[in-house]
Amino acid sequence: MNELAAWLLSIGAFAGVVVCTVIAAKSLAGDGARGRRRCPKCWHELGPATHAGRTLQCTECGHHAASEGEVTRARRQPIRATLAISGAVLIIAAMRVRLVDRGVWSMAPTSVLLAVTPRFSDGGYRSSGWELAWRVRAGTASDAQVRDALDIFVAGDDDARPPSDAWRAKYRDLGSAVIARLGGGGAGPADPALRKLFAIPPAIKLAVAAGSTPALLALDADVWWPPSTDAQLTLTFADGSTRAAEFHPDGRFPSLIVELPHDAKAGDPVTCALTYVHDGAAPVTLAPQSLTLPTLVVVPPPKWEALDDDAMRHDVSLVFAEGLSVWSQGTPRGGMRFNATATTGEIFNGVAVGLRVELLEEGIVRRTSRMWWPGGSARGTPMWLTSIEDASAMQRLFDEKPEGAWRWKLRVTGDERLARYILKPPGLQGAPDADPPLRGWFAGTVEVPLAVERMAGPSPTRRWKVAPRAN
């Protein structure tokens, strides 16, 4: 059903409810006698009530009324009223999905929604903006109307300019719907009109991720780019050092965690520069954004001890029993699988687990992962820095014959510096419980044979991939 037909049906249904209501009201109110005397059975007129000829018997059907009140009462039609009320109820029930679930804006034509959304919509459920996004996503809006919606999304309005939080709250559903509609969905090329999205400035946000030294910073870039767009982010700190990472907006794992310079402090400037490449075209460098480091509350190093025994090493080896997934193509090729719940036993109560996990090829490090979490009953969420791998080694591992499995091993080493990353500043969201208090860090080393699961097809796209450091 096209939009015009659906709109006419809605108006017709509304008119039908009004007509049924009027019919029911008139049927219940009845046709008043207005001085007439009528047979209560067939409603034939009996004539005037005179002293000479007052009769209660109908000359048409022979019915004899019981009293004068019966021949002067209003003529009501309960059956017609019942049918009219039933009709109104059925129409309302049939229109419930459109009028109740989608709201009154579902009755407006799309041209009206395009006109009122920047002025009146708050972007909430069943608002005009929500209804417009619904129609774009459902395919009932025309291509021309979808491009008009794209212009609204890119421009925002006086109270919600991109990329502000107010703009995101009001227009994000519409933006997602437009990009999905014009992006081709993998079945074809993206609409060239989506290039207008590059006019929306990226919103880069920084947050403290750990209060150790050097402190960790969590970073994310909120962008609205068309499909087939990748970028590189370069961070420049106050001491001149840089951190670089590849950025894939549609990838998994939303935050990039980077180590700050040792002398970094709150209020230091951080320059963020993004260079993007769309659909193989020439790279475009956006104007750098200058941000400031948030408050860095460094937690003093605890008085703890290095802990290591056979039971701990056994549990740590179980964390990585599933080994490594390696895909036939993509970057990065490998994905470390781990189960941190293997360190929730009593022996890990009060123990900070910080691990450097290295993939060895005949003793040479080919891939490194760094992760940390509180052990024992604290059950904190594991966090990790982006892994670094040798792409050619990953290809050799994928092609390795069974008899060559001995060449590959996993070496897991406790790292105090990584363990200290669980010492998040007070009040930081996600900070582990302080009970039981930390008494030490795992300091053992485990070397185990590598379990490998080879996966045909490209690896999942990661949102961030660490690039070689410029300085």
Q: Tens of pLDDT along 239-275?
A: 999 999 999 988 877 788 888 888 888 899 999 999 9
User: What is the value of pTM for the model shown?
Assistant: 0.68
- CA 60-62-68 angle, to 5 degrees, is 95
Judge whether residue 104 has pLDDT over 70: yes
In this prediction, residue 1 carries a pLDDT of 42
The whole-number average pLDDT for the span 1-28 is 70
User: For 201-292, which CATH superfamily applies?
Assistant: Immunoglobulins (2.60.40.10)
Listed range (11-25, 61-75, 126-140) with the worst mean pLDDT? 61-75
Q: At 365, is the pLDDT very low, low, confident or very high (cuts 50, 70, 90)?
A: very high
Domain boundary assignment for the chain: 3-101, 104-197, 201-292, 305-463
Rounded CA-CA distance 303/278 in Å is 51
